[in-house]
Amino acid sequence: MRIDRFQMERTQCRYENEVEYNLSESGVLPITARELLDGEAAQSAFLDIPLKYAESNGSVLLRDHIATWYPGATRDNVLVSIGTSEANYSTFWGLLDPGGRAAIMIPNYLQTWGLARAYAGRADPYRLVEMEENGTRRWGLDVESLHRAVTARTRLILVTNPNNPTGGVLTEAEMAEIIRVARRVGAWIVSDEVYRGAEVGGATLTPTFWGRYDKVIVTSGVSKTFGMPGLRIGWVVAPPRTADHLWSYQDYTTLTPATLSDRLARLALEPARRERLIARARGILQRQLPQIERWIDTHADIFDYIRPRAGAIVLIKYRLPITSARLFERLRVEQSVLITPGAHFGVGKYIRVGYGYDMGKTLAGLARVDTLLAELQGKRQRPAVRAPGSARPRARRLLTVGA
């Protein structure tokens, strides 16, 4: 089986540890194991855990804790996976075959686009578009495109809510419409909710699709809101028979979660601690979003921007005669800064910048972005503001990035 190159992850994996300023993260600053293990007794108990295989669908306690985040779910609905990535992978592999079709929300994290093309042979796009309602701009569902994408052969509709890269959150009416369309053809709704909990400005928790329709599968994990991407813990929430079916697919991929990761995730997702971690993420967003917005304002002549509702990411439209793939490449090579280009999400002249990590470093990276933007606009180049101790950007060989 052939699979498309997952351009966004390929470039991120290749370059994120090479550049001086990595502005391509979409979660909040990671927490440490010490923060989860309160006190010496807990730390010492952790060190005594035998490194045996973990329960292959996740420990009972971890599945119990995950289930409490989804009204009406129990541990039998939960399958633990290696990140949301494997949760999506097992789901698409388990549900799709060459006869079926998959409607995929665009713009998006294009893992599911590639999986649909690999397992169903094609992916049918439907769109989130910029819209204005009661004087407020937001990213909303293009209902017509959903109707066009979903046919009698559609086996699943993929939703990413909150969305990456737009930070948009579906309204109740939009969720109801997606369910109505899915029900009409008997399709599954697969809802990637990995940014749930990371809402901006103390907004309410993004509603889950879970419990709204009998053919819903939610995928998620601890990488974004909970600041633990290195644990590689994700999950599927599905009707018990489906969770069981998808579990058997993981016999061919990873067998079990990592024992130590299962234990730490169990601590993190215990309901009271989970709420504290959500509050932590929201605190970071609340403090840091105004700072990156001040930077965006300094480019009002070329930038257009809709405030995200969730996620530590801003998606910025720019007016410059350069493709997003080329802008990404020039920033990486000439300024040693990694952003994510719109092309990697299925849109055009946009860049996505993460603001959930160290803000001093982020602003120093953005000063490097200023240097290139000034050059592209034919302005006199301002000297880049460098982080203390950082060297001049090194020029690197130009590579051509597809898309």
Ligand X SMILES: Cc1ncc(COP(=O)(O)O)c(C=O)c1O
**Which residues make up the interface to ligand X (CB under 6 A)?**
26, 83-85, 109, 160, 164, 192, 194, 221, 223, 229, 234
Closest distance to ligand X from the beta carbon of 264 (Å):
14
Smallest distance, ligand X to C-beta of residue 151, A? 25
CA-CA distance, 333 to 327, in Å (whole number)?
10
The smaller minimum CB distance to ligand X, of residues 161 and 371, is found at: 161
The string over 174-190, giving b where at least 16 C-beta atoms fall within 10 Å of a residue's C-beta and e elsewhere, is bbebbbebbeeeebbbb
Distances (CA, A) of 366 to 110, 360, 372: 25, 10, 10
For ligand X, give the closer residue by CB, 22 or 26: 26
Q: Buried b / exposed e across 156-166, counting CB within 10 Å, b at 16+? A: bbbbbbbbbbb
Of 25 and 370, CB closest to ligand X: 25
Query: Which residues on adjacent β-strands are paired with residue 137?
Result: 132
Q: Is the dihedral of CA 214, 217, 222, 224 positive or negative?
A: negative
- Residue placing its CB nearer to ligand X in the complex, 311 or 393: 311
Question: 268, 267, 170, 185: which is closest to 227 by C-alpha?
Answer: 268
Element (DSSP H or E) covering residue 242: helix 240-249
Q: Name the residue with the smallest CB distance to ligand X.
A: 83
Comparing CB distances to ligand X, the nearer of 155 and 344 is 344
CA–CA distance, 2 with 168 (Å, rounded to integer): 32
Q: Supply the minimum distance, in Å, between the C-beta of residue 87 and ligand X.
A: 8
Angle 233-72-248 from CA coordinates, rounded to 5°: 45
Least distance to ligand X, CB of residue 188, Å: 17
Give the nearest distance from C-beta 309 to ligand X in angstroms: 15
Cβ closer to ligand X: 58 or 393?
Answer: 58
Tokens of 374: 């000034």
Q: CB of 160: closest distance to ligand X in angstroms?
A: 5
CA atoms within 13 A on the CB side of 308: 34
Nearer to ligand X, 89 or 318 (CB): 89
**Shortest approach of ligand X to residue 194 CB, angstroms?**
5
C-alpha–C-alpha distance, residues 186 and 161, integer Å:
21
- In the complex, least distance from residue 191 CB atom to ligand X, rounded to whole angstroms: 10
- Nearer residue to ligand X within complex by CB, 54 or 310: 310
